[in-house]
Amino acid sequence: MEESLPITILISATVVAGIAAQVLAGYFHIPSIVLLLLFGILLGRDGFDFLDPSLLGIGLEVVVSLSVALILFEGGLNLQLGELKEVSNELKLLLDKLLNKGELVIKWYRKRKNKGNSDYVAI
């Protein structure tokens, strides 16, 4: 019983902090991710050290995986393909530059190789 109390407090405090961040973000009309990150920093190791995610052990990986799956599923439900077609040309150009030509990676490597000097030519 005593072993599960810290985990219960961790999960409860995380849920309460998340709900509070969402409500405050709606009240102040700011993106919720801003307050969610702020609350996470303040309650985590770099802040007041109130929440310790290492208590979950391997369960943290499971929670993160399920959360990402839920976010992607919800994003797919709300995706409107008509809007995607409007930006498809720009998206194709961006993906072409990033994946096929590797322009971003080449620029970064050359800048790193030249110790920050930006005298490189993109391919």
| Average pLDDT estimate for 116-123 | 48
Question: Among 9-13, 16-20, 83-87, where is mean pLDDT lowest?
Answer: 83-87
Token couple for 26: 């709606």
**Percent of the chain topping pLDDT 70:** 75
Q: 14: how many CB neighbours lie within 10 A of its CB?
A: 17
Residues 101 and 95: their CA atoms lie apart, in Å, by 9
User: How do residues 47-72 score in pLDDT, each as one tens digit?
Assistant: 888 888 888 778 778 888 888 888 88
Which tokens go with 68? 């990402």
